[in-house]
Structure formats: structure tokens, C-alpha cells
Amino acid sequence: MNRWPEISFEDRMSTVHFDVHERAHITVDGDSCHGCTTKACVVACPANLFVPTSDGGIVFNYEQCFECGTCYMVCNVEGAITWTYPDGGHGVVFRRT
Ligand code: SF4
Ligand code: SF4
């Protein structure tokens, strides 16, 4: 069976560029996260942007987001994630390697 070659997280991130806009295109309601038992966003986000805190919350940083939408799909707490695309021309820029 053919497999994709192993690629480190650092190598994966080195293939993209982020033109960060000052407006956060994704926001996370920390109060909602405290009651969340799955913390599905933590394992689902390919950019590792959701970090659990010791008090049951989540720290989130939008700046290196791939805009894949996975976090919004896996989160089962209504209103916890507000998701939009970045304003025009900003956000992730995928590059050929
Ligand atoms: S899955 Fe949703 S509610 Fe749960 S920690 Fe992540 S963002 Fe918060
Ligand atoms: S859209 Fe994708 S890369 Fe961006 S925060 Fe959600 S899961 Fe992570």
C-alpha cells in the first residue's frame, strides 16, 4: 500500500505563509469550552491552534489558521466557535514546495 511520506509539523508549516489580518476571523467563547468534555478541537486542528488549559478552558490563536473549517465541524457546543473567512486578501497562502 502506498503511503504519503512522513512530514514533520515544522516542515508542514514551512510550506505556507500567513498574511495575518488584525481582525480575528475565528473566535472561541471560553465560557462554552469549560463545560466541553471532548475538547475535539484540540486533536482536530491540523495547525495545533487550540491549547487546553489546566482549568478546563481553551486558549486559541487564529493567526496560523489553514481555514480548513475542521474545528467548526467537530465542535458540538453551539456558539462556542464563531467562524468566518479572513477579510479579502488575508489569511493563509499555500505555496508550492
Ligand atoms: S470542541 Fe468546541 S466547545 Fe469544546 S473545547 Fe473545542 S471549541 Fe470549545
Ligand atoms: S479552520 Fe482549521 S486550521 Fe483553522 S483553527 Fe479551525 S481546524 Fe484549525
Q: State the CATH number of the domain containing residue 85.
A: 3.30.70.20
If pLDDT is split at 50, 70 and 90, which confidence band does 51 have? very high
pLDDT at 97 exceeding the cut of 60? no
The per-residue pLDDT for 81 is 97
**Residue 6, in any domain of the structure:** no
> Are 74 and 50 in contact, with CB atoms under 8 Å apart?
no
Question: For residue 42, what are the domain limits?
Answer: 23-90
Residue 67 Cβ contacting ligand 2 at under 6 Å: yes
pTM: 0.89
Residue 52 CA to ligand 1 center (angstroms) comes to 10
Q: Are 69 and 83 in contact (CB under 8 A)?
A: yes
Distance 46 CA to ligand 2 centre (A): 7
Residue 94: per-residue pLDDT: 87
Mutation test residue for ligand 1: of 53, 74, 81, 83, the one with most atoms within 8 Å of CB = 81
Cα torsion 97, 20, 89, 51 to 10°: value is 80
pLDDT of the residue at 96: 64
Quote the CA–CA distance of 75 and 41 in Å, as a whole number: 6
3 in a structural domain: no
- Gap between the Cα atoms of 90 and 85, Å rounded: 9
Instruction: Give the pLDDT band (50/70/90) at residue 92.
Output: very high
Host H or E run for residue 35: none
Ligand nearest to the CA of 31: 1
Number of domains into which the chain is organized: 1
The answer as to whether 36 is a domain residue is yes
